[in-house]
Structure 1
Amino acid sequence: MSATARLSRGAAGGEDAPPFSANRLLAALRPDALETLSPYLILVDLPQDEVLFDAGDDVEHTYLPCGPTQASLLVVTSDGQEIEAASIGHEGAIGGMVSAGFKPAYGRAVVRVPGYAFCVPTARLEEVKNRSPVVADLFDRYADVFIAQMMQVAACNALHPIEQRACRWLLFAHDRSGDEPIRLTQETLAQMLGVQRTTISAVARSLQDSGLIHIGRGRVEVLDRPGLEKRACECHDAVEAHFRRVLPKVAD
């Protein structure tokens, strides 16, 4: 069942249901600004590998991930290969920069780490932006950060060795998962970074042998964050520094 089809269930309930503050864009809004958007937000449960939209699709819904939930924006080649252009977690929105009307997506959005997300019809989000300059400014600033991330990832993929690139991705994922293990397979990481599974396996073994991570079945646990940062390239820190400048309230 697609994420859009699950919207008919209504908001997810129970003690495990996260508050609006579980997404840092929503948490950064003043109460009056949040009040203009909250009536349209529906909590959905996104399974791993769910395709939220594909290249050429009209992006009808915008998703705001909560907690460790994470999605990848992928470029898909003519022969079906995928490579990650950006990663979106609780700091942002998936589809939030798309305006109402038929403006097709350029890439594919896929859930990598499952969990909750708030979902809002993109047309409704645009209406709220038009009524609330505060909401519009927040999403405009996030769009700037999102583009910066894509630019940095493009440079990283072209210039840096695979171990540094893998460490960069693990740092991004660890930012969003906190102390919880990252729910990720080596096959998925290999697909996102555009390399063979055997290449990622060798990198993962090296990082594990160095005591930086522990690899489980479909899970990666970060054991030594400072050590992982030393093995990574500068790309993670560059994006985070820009994020803090442009969206300081979200970065808190």
Structure 2
Amino acid sequence: MSAVENHLLERLPRPDRLRLLAACEPVELVLSEVLCVPDLPVRHVYFPIRGFISLVTPVDGSPGVEVGMVGREGMLGAQLALGIATTPWRAVVQGAGGAWRIGTVAFKRELAHSPALQRGLNRYLYVLMAQHAASAGCLRFHLTGQRLARWLLMSQDRAHSDSFHVTHEFLAYMLGMRRVGITAAASTLQRNGLIEYHRGELKVLDRTGLEAAACSCYASDRRTYAQLLG
């Protein structure tokens, strides 16, 4: 990896960034790989570059529902800035690709030496809080098609491509819905010319139209990030 390509790292002063990168290693995020689970100490911190990660909250023994997403705009393991070693969610690789990885001990050492890193993580933690709050309201009040459009936009942003692989089963899992509902909503988006979907391969055809079809949570998430970390 010749470039940083992670927004949180790029925002750091150059000496802090170089010192942190020297302690990192490049890794490949593998589709469906589980990076951490609830209530167990995390072993590594990840700064995605091309891959992206779903944050899933388990519910009563079920697979759970997605409450957040992490791509190269953020990181996995930000709770370490609060002195907390565990997470409340299951982190699953949703999009394969590269990332910078650093062990938690080394990361906490860098955190202690970089006030800029601490400030950046504090702001990013608020972004995650806002994303989780929006997801809770979205699950309760917004229609399936709106939620699906939001999810597709979030995935496209982090995939940095108009095309990516996703199945109806995976969408139902992420959105906490029955597959039949996801299929109906995806069919509507396809009939309206917003997406193209075939055998798990999805392509966004009309980004503007998809934004119009999404709920207000998508624009709210982007606005919060831009205000704090843009």
TM-score by length of structure 2 reads: 0.95
1:132 matched to 2:114? The reply is yes
1:116 matched to 2:118: no
State the Cα distance separating 1:203 from its structure 2 match.
0.9
In the alignment, the residues of structure 2 paired with residue 31 and residue 99 of structure 1 have an alpha-carbon distance, to the nearest angstrom, of 20
Select the residue among 30, 53, 63 that pairs with 1:47: 30
Paired residue for 1:35?
18
Structure 2 counterparts to residues 65-144 of structure 1, below 5 A: 65-67=48-50, 69-99=51-81, 103-144=85-126
> For residue 215 of structure 2, what is the amino acid of its counterpart?
C
Q: Does 1:162 align with 2:144?
A: yes
CA distance in 1, matches of 2:133, 2:70: 14
**Structure 1 SS opposite 2:79:** coil
Give matches, 1:192-211, under 5 Å: 192-211=174-193
Q: CA deviation at 1:141?
A: 1.0
Alpha-carbon distance in 1 for matches of 2:64, 2:96: 19
Shift of 1:150: 0.7
The alignment partner of 1:240 has SS state of helix
Q: Distance in 1 between matches of 2:179 and 2:44?
A: 33
Q: Which amino acid aligns with 1:46?
A: L
Measured on the aligned residues, the alpha-carbon RMSD in Å equals: 1.6
Residues 26, 34 of structure 1: 8 Å contact kept: yes
| 1:72-126 Cα distance to aligned partner (Å, 9 max, x none) | 1111122323100111111000112225977322111000111111111122112
Higher mean C-alpha displacement, 234-243 vs 178-187:
178-187
> Which letter does structure 1 place at the counterpart of 2:39?
G
Q: Residue deviations 1:130-175, cap 9 Å, x none? A: 1111111111111111111111111111110111011111111111
Identity, % of aligned positions: 33
3-state secondary structure, aligned to 1:63: strand
CA 1:50/1:113 → structure 2, altered by over 3 Å: closer, same or farther? same
Q: Residue 8 of structure 1 aligns with which residue?
A: none
Report the CA distance shift for 1:49/1:36 in structure 2 as closer, same or farther (over 3 A). Answer: same
Q: In structure 2, the residue corresponding to 1:72 is in which secondary structure?
A: strand
Look up the equivalent residue of 1:197 and give its one-letter code. R
**AA paired with 1:179?**
S
1:145 is aligned to 2:104:
no
Structure 2, unaligned stretches of length 5 or more?
none
Report if aligned partners of 1:37, 1:128 keep a CA contact under 8 Å in 2.
yes
Does 2:202 align with 1:233?
no
Aligned length: 230
Structure 1 residues 79 and 135: CA distance shift in structure 2, 3 A: closer
Q: Which moved more, 1:208-217 or 1:178-187?
A: 178-187
